[in-house]
Amino acid sequence: MAGKRTDARRKQHAQASVDDAAGQEARAEPTLARERIVVTAVELLDARGVAGLTMRELAERLGSGVMSLYWHVSNKEEVLDLALDLVLEPPHCVEFGNWREEVVHQLEDWRASMLRHPWSVSLLPRRALGPNLLSRLELLSRALSKAGVADADVNAAIWSLWNHPVGATITRVSFTLSDDDMAAGQRRLARGSDRYKAIEQSRLLLDNDWDGAFRKGIDFLLDGFARAK
């Protein structure tokens, strides 16, 4: 029956997971090492991408043994989760008088955070509910509450705004990611110009004013809300 289980030690930390410091009191002490691990992980990810994050490399950068990491972190996935959440920390709450500017600011900040750490985009599909993302959702929600959207539409409105940076950043990153893809895309466009007539004509793939398109997208949505009111 293997009575002596040593899991007592792991439990304490493992359960904390992505959750922020739990108790109501200022319990504090988020295990200094844990934060160091995550910060270093982000550096590594920035430098070498998702594939470059190895527990061994991480340990080496921290000057520790590999297995020491597992005291503070239950597995590699958790490191990724924590790194993702760290990078998506929301901005300090700046109040604009104008709710519209507030929404735009928030979404642009989010997008900028992701583009600063492109690996974060590919992690997003796995875990999209870290505490920092929840905070961003909250901020967005509050800003929009001043917009006077119809009650029945408000949730749909929030999600639409939410999804815009997600989609836009993914699209942006995967286009930038490899110029090979871009070249291949152009090649495909070149031949069979009947098949891809429209996007060839509008030079959609060549127009790389991503920032502008992103901003316009927000405006479309906000205008749409106004009309649906």
Partner DNA sequence: AAGCTACATCGTACAATGTACGAGTCAATG
Partner DNA sequence: CATTGACTCGTACATTGTACGATGTAGCTT
The residues of the shown chain that bind DNA, judged by CB under 7 A, are: 6-9, 12, 31, 33, 53-56, 64-68, 70-72, 75-77
**Nearer CB in complex with its own copies: 55/170:** 170
Q: Which amino acid is at 60?
A: E
Going by the DSSP 8-state scheme, the letter that residue 3 receives in this structure is: -
Of 68, 76, 177, 78, give the one whose Cα is nearest residue 121. Answer: 177
Footprint of its own copies on residues 66-85 (CB under 8 A)?
none
**Alpha-carbon distance 68 to 40, whole Å?**
15
Smallest gap from Cβ 177 to its own copies, in A, equals 7
**Nearer CB in complex with DNA: 50/86:** 50
Q: Which does 145 bind (CB under 5 to 8 A by kind): its own copies, DNA, none?
A: its own copies
Residues in the interface with its own copies (CB under 8 A) total 77
* Both structure tokens of 140: 């967005």
Report the C-alpha dihedral over residues 131, 136, 137, 140, rounded to 10 degrees: 160
**Nearer CB in complex with its own copies: 4/191:** 191
Q: Which does 45 bind (CB under 5 to 8 A by kind): its own copies, DNA, none?
A: none
End-to-end CA distance of the chain: 65
For 151, the enclosing helix (H) or strand (E) is helix 151-177
Footprint of its own copies on residues 164-193 (CB under 8 A)?
164-168, 170-171, 173-175, 177, 180-182, 184-185, 187-189, 191-192
Segment contacting its own copies by CB under 8 A, of 52-60, 64-72, 86-94, 210-218:
210-218
Q: Which does 39 bind (CB under 5 to 8 A by kind): DNA, its own copies, none?
A: none
Of 155, 151, 146, 165, give the one whose Cα is nearest residue 104. Answer: 165
Footprint of its own copies on residues 135-164 (CB under 8 A)?
135, 137-138, 141-142, 145, 153-160, 162-164
Smallest gap from Cβ 137 to DNA, in A, equals 29
Contact yes or no for 87/42 (Cβ under 8 A) = yes
**Alpha-carbon distance 46 to 63, whole Å?**
19
Q: Which does 107 bind (CB under 5 to 8 A by kind): DNA, its own copies, none?
A: none
* Both structure tokens of 29: 């002490």
